């Protein structure tokens, strides 16, 4: 059993460290007012070490939460190296100026339970300093969370701080691009900027990004792609969720034209199963046909598959397990911006796609592990795995342009039934 909570950390805007994401993010691994060494959470005695210990013995770290958590993976072994952090995710702010219908920030605001918080600059300094003094290597630092980073007035100073402590880490930010670009942004040392803009004009953007201003978002993206950065320019990625109101042939063409004109490095279409998802384009094959009809140049289209996404994830985990490979990958990555800058003058954006992780193989492995646990007499642990599989199966999936639920029999046949019977029968 693997969970990213042992290789990644999520520092929330209130200063606490959450149990990574999804169902776990409401559970704190380290309190906001923790005194002493703030890197203690990432040691064998801290929260991450305890999660690793449980996973290594085939146990769910939080039996009341993990069965409902999407982060759990059964295709990889647990990994934990207290001197190597694969990803530090930093949430600058937990508030947002938009009201996307499927976002939990919108939900909390409507329910009156949102307590706005901005990450304290001094707390981040202490946090990073404690990790640096303990000799932890951080591979990536990503500024995003459950809220919009640009609503933090000192965002770019936070980015600069992170880059000063960990100059070799790749720094990125994911934003709705509804903000200005102050001069300090160019000096922040940011390496990648992901702009979530799901449309090509005011009408198509504001159907989902409620309250969003297309001209503002486009202005932000263009300024970032062409701004006066002193060193290597950051890579600008346009993230475009495919909805039924923005997937037309002319809209795809327009997105390409806008991205090319703005100097964007990558136009990434994302398949989603939430909100008014696209019925027309639900797979890389559909997208390739749609882009071809829209007249995009085939040489710039690089659509991966679910399988290639899984391979990337396997590679990432392999890197994490080897210090030598990690160092080599770091060197290659640092050489990459120069190569990209050299090749970029006048170059066109790459067109890619991304999707939610494939789960069928993962759940199949979960059922096999559950059967092993029953055989070794651990019925309680097997029952938790079964409830995780049932929870995941209860979520609707997109198939043939429609949202539907799967039955356990349809998804896994006897594998699921056998485990369910074993769990019920052995007391």
Q: Which helix (H) or strand (E) holds 88?
A: strand 84-90
Tell me the closest approach of the beta carbon of residue 219 to ligand SF4, in angstroms: 17
Task: State how far the Cα of 8 lies from the Cα of 23, in Å rounded to an integer.
Answer: 16
What is the footprint of ligand SF4 within residues 166-185 (CB under 6 A)? 176
When binding is defined by CB under 6 A, the residue of 11, 13, 19, 162 that contacts ligand SF4 is 19
Closest to ligand SF4 by CB, 65 or 270: 65
Closest to ligand SF4 by CB, 5 or 267: 5
When binding is defined by CB under 6 A, the residue of 92, 147, 149, 370 that contacts ligand SF4 is 147
Q: Let me know if 17 is exposed, middle or buried by CB neighbors in 10 A (0-12, 13-18, 19+).
A: buried
Task: State how far the Cα of 162 lies from the Cα of 146, in Å rounded to an integer.
Answer: 19
Task: State how far the Cα of 25 lies from the Cα of 71, in Å rounded to an integer.
Answer: 10
Q: Which residues contact 167 (CB under 8 A, 6 or more apart)?
A: 189
CB 260 within 8 A of CB 348: yes
Q: In 134-182, where does DSSP find H-type helix?
A: 155-165
Query: Would you count residue 221 as binding ligand SF4 (CB under 6 A)?
Result: no
Closest to ligand SF4 by CB, 1 or 296: 1
Site stretch for ligand SF4 (CB under 6 A), options 18-26, 158-166, 232-240, 258-266? 18-26
Closest residue to ligand SF4, based on beta-carbon distance: 24
Task: State how far the Cα of 365 lies from the Cα of 363, in Å rounded to an integer.
Answer: 5
| β 170-175/192-196 pair status | parallel
Tell me the closest approach of the beta carbon of residue 176 to ligand SF4, in angstroms: 4
Closest to ligand SF4 by CB, 243 or 256: 243
Task: State how far the Cα of 83 lies from the Cα of 61, in Å rounded to an integer.
Answer: 21
Closest to ligand SF4 by CB, 54 or 169: 54
When binding is defined by CB under 6 A, the residue of 51, 136, 169, 173 that contacts ligand SF4 is 51
Count of residues engaged in binding ligand SF4, rule: CB under 6 A? 25
Closest to ligand SF4 by CB, 78 or 234: 78
What is the footprint of ligand SF4 within residues 72-101 (CB under 6 A)? 72, 96, 98-100
Tell me the closest approach of the beta carbon of residue 51 to ligand SF4, in angstroms: 5
Tell me the closest approach of the beta carbon of residue 53 to ligand SF4, in angstroms: 12
Q: Which of 101, 191, 98 is nearest to 151 (CA)?
A: 98
Task: State how far the Cα of 312 lies from the Cα of 373, in Å rounded to an integer.
Answer: 29
Q: Which two tokens stand for residue 386?
A: 């079964």
Query: Would you count residue 148 as binding ligand SF4 (CB under 6 A)?
Result: yes
CB 400 within 8 A of CB 381: no
Closest to ligand SF4 by CB, 217 or 296: 217
Rg of the chain over Cα atoms, rounded to whole angstroms, equals 22
Handedness of CA 181, 183, 184, 188 (dihedral sign): positive
Phi, psi (rounded to 5 degrees) for 382: -65, -40
Query: Would you count residue 105 as binding ligand SF4 (CB under 6 A)?
Result: yes
CB 117 within 8 A of CB 11: no
239: phi > 0 → left, psi -120 to 50 → alpha, else beta; which?
A: beta
Query: Would you count residue 369 as binding ligand SF4 (CB under 6 A)?
Result: no
Closest to ligand SF4 by CB, 90 or 103: 103
CB 38 within 8 A of CB 16: no
Site stretch for ligand SF4 (CB under 6 A), options 17-25, 156-164, 334-342, 361-369? 17-25
Query: Would you count residue 5 as binding ligand SF4 (CB under 6 A)?
Result: yes
Q: Spell out, one character per residue from 56 to 75, where the chain touches ligand SF4: x when CB under 6 A holds, - when not.
A: -----xx--xx--x-xx---
Closest to ligand SF4 by CB, 20 or 186: 20
Name the residues that contact ligand SF4, by CB under 6 A. Answer: 3, 5, 19-20, 22-24, 51, 61-62, 65-66, 69, 71-72, 96, 98-100, 103, 105-106, 147-148, 176
């Amino acid at each position: 059993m693997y969970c990213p909570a042992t290789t990644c950390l999520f520092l929330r805007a209130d200063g606490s460290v959450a149990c990574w994401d999804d169902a776990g993010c409401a559970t704190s691994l380290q309190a906001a007012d923790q005194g002493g060494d703030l890197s203690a959470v990432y040691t064998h005695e801290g929260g991450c070490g305890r999660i690793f210990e449980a996973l290594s013995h085939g146990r769910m770290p939080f039996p009341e939460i993990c069965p409902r958590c999407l982060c759990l993976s059964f295709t990889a072994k647990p990994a934990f190296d207290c001197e190597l952090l694969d990803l530090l995710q930093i949430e600058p702010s937990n508030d947002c100026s938009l009201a996307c219908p499927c976002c939990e920030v919108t939900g909390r605001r409507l329910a009156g339970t949102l307590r706005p918080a901005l990450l304290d600059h001094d707390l981040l300094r202490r946090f990073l300093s404690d990790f640096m003094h303990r000799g932890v290597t951080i591979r990536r630092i990503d500024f995003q969370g459950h809220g919009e980073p640009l609503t933090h007035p000192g965002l770019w100073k936070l980015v600069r701080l992170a880059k000063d402590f960990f100059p070799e880490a790749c720094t990125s930010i994911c934003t709705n691009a509804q903000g200005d670009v102050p001069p300090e942004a160019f000096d922040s040392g940011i390496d990648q900027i992901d702009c979530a803009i799901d449309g090509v004009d005011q009408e198509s953007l504001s159907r989902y990004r409620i309250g969003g201003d297309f001209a503002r978002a486009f202005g932000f993206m263009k300024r970032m792609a062409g701004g006066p950065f002193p060193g290597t320019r950051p890579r600008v990625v346009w993230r475009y969720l495919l909805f039924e109101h923005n997937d037309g042939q002319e809209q795809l063409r327009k997105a390409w034209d806008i991205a090319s004109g703005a100097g964007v490095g990558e136009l990434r279409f994302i398949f989603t199963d939430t909100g008014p998802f696209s019925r027309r384009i639900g797979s890389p094959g559909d997208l390739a046909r749609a882009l071809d009809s829209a007249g995009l140049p085939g040489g710039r289209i690089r659509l991966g598959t679910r399988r290639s996404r899984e391979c990337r994830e396997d590679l990432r985990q392999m890197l994490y397990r080897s210090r030598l490979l990690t160092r080599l990958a770091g060197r290659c990555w640092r050489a990459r911006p120069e190569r990209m800058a050299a090749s970029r003058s006048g170059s066109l954006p790459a067109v890619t796609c991304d999707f939610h992780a494939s789960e069928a193989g993962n759940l199949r492995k979960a059922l096999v592990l559950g059967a092993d646990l029953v055989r070794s007499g651990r019925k309680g642990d097997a029952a938790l795995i079964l409830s995780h599989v049932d929870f995941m199966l209860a979520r609707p999936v997109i198939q043939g342009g429609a949202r539907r639920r799967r039955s356990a029999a349809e998804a896994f046949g006897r594998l699921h039934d056998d485990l369910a019977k074993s769990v019920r029968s052995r007391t």
